[in-house]
Chain A
């Protein structure tokens, strides 16, 4: 073997090691979170963690049900608000608006995706929370407030991915439908949207992942009471907030229980990721 071949092999091997960095980080994170979080789950029983309704860490009561329900509620709420708005915007911007307007608005919307989540939370706290309190009653800090803020936060993601997948539908589809006498809207509804479906779904799942994983914005507007909310006007605490709120001072089993919260969050996110990956893979295949 010549010297150059040897160098090349050395480089190849080093790069392979580097290339495993992402996978290793993923593995290490998984191991650490699970190592820290699972023992206590088994000690007190999986059932008491998943279905226990009382979170009193000082009394060794670690029921996570309110937080699980809370995360699901605000995520669902975010989708109810973000998906129709996002989809409508994407459809409008791709099929019905002036080309120039779209060229201007798409980047603007994507720029807004970069605004830090604390800023969204802050705006919610300053404007949305008082508005809800005064007009609908309750403390204002609520499921509703968190859902609206998260819904707005996922808008850029949903819009920009939906635009991309609607644009990916070949123009020949549209022309074919129009030629058959369909109106533009009929074409969009019956031809374009079905063709773009899996891309749109992947975008929604990505937005969902973003909503369920969001922490700081939710903490600022959700009120954070560790009880299952009776209505959307009551405060709520999510899995992410549970970790962030108590991590600063928790120790011993309390801290382990927060890692257990992380484990559950992690599992939910992984399931979502896998679904999103599969859907986008299917889109690519076609």
Chain B
């Protein structure tokens, strides 16, 4: 039996009076890649932001219901948001390397914890870049600016930056939307490798990508979860007409 890692219970989200997520109920299993697909503005990014509470930073943002991560309600009063965000790493659509060296980008989150031991950091940098599939390309120029990397390399650096924190979950919001096919493939390869150690939620507007890498796929439409099932099922015989319509390209 699969172990449940995240439970979403009657969860809604509002921007002011606009309801962006409507009463979501589903589970995420440990060590799976859950793909989330859906047309623009369907609330995919909002859902990810709710998971590591980046939505706290947006004015007017409000939630109802619960999200339990490892059994703990992440909107409960005792939650340490900073620790939560370390546990749940987030990769954004456009790669955003911080304006510092490759090395410093990777250890940024680790240094926040006060760890500054050079040897330890060196090891973390190597491990994380290795796992993100970037080590061989950058090992000779770790001290150069991260802004000089190509888009695909930057995105893998962003993944490495999260891995350095030894998170349990990785959220990716359309991580390959700005990348060429080869870079996209490299990132998808990394994700398949990472699956054995992490639970991954991949938002993508490219349904084929979900078909390629996701174990299960959820379809969001206008803030609602239309259906969630094994990827193969979603793509071959979806139970909802709207899913079928979307996959056939009816929602653009």
List chain A positions with a Cβ less than 8 A from chain B: 2, 4
Residue numbers in B under 8 Å from A2 (CB-CB): 80
Residue numbers in A under 8 Å from B80 (CB-CB): 2, 4
Closest to A4 in B: B82
A2 to B80, CA, bound (A): 7
List chain B positions with a Cβ less than 8 A from chain A: 80, 82
A4 to B80, CA, bound (A): 9
3 smallest CB-CB distances across A and B, nearest first, come from: A2-B80, A4-B82, A4-B80
A2 to B82, CA, bound (A): 10
- Some 3 contacts from A to B, beta carbons below 8 A apart, are A2-B80, A4-B80, A4-B82
A4 to B82, CA, bound (A): 9
Closest to B77 in A: A1
Residue numbers in A under 8 Å from B82 (CB-CB): 4
What is the minimal beta-carbon distance from B218 to any residue of chain A, in angstroms?
32
What is the minimal beta-carbon distance from A266 to any residue of chain B, in angstroms?
39
Closest to B82 in A: A4
A4 to B114, CA, bound (A): 13
A166 to B12, CA, bound (A): 49
Residue numbers in B under 8 Å from A4 (CB-CB): 80, 82
What is the minimal beta-carbon distance from B134 to any residue of chain A, in angstroms?
31
A212 to B221, CA, bound (A): 64
What is the minimal beta-carbon distance from B113 to any residue of chain A, in angstroms?
11
Closest to B78 in A: A2
Closest to B80 in A: A2
Closest to A8 in B: B82
Closest to A3 in B: B80
A4 to B85, CA, bound (A): 14
A264 to B194, CA, bound (A): 73
Closest to B79 in A: A2
What is the minimal beta-carbon distance from A1 to any residue of chain B, in angstroms?
10
What is the minimal beta-carbon distance from B53 to any residue of chain A, in angstroms?
13
A188 to B80, CA, bound (A): 60
A270 to B245, CA, bound (A): 66
What is the minimal beta-carbon distance from A214 to any residue of chain B, in angstroms?
42
A2 to B78, CA, bound (A): 8
Closest to A2 in B: B80
A15 to B210, CA, bound (A): 46
What is the minimal beta-carbon distance from B139 to any residue of chain A, in angstroms?
34
A87 to B90, CA, bound (A): 53
What is the minimal beta-carbon distance from A3 to any residue of chain B, in angstroms?
9
What is the minimal beta-carbon distance from B114 to any residue of chain A, in angstroms?
12
What is the minimal beta-carbon distance from A4 to any residue of chain B, in angstroms?
6
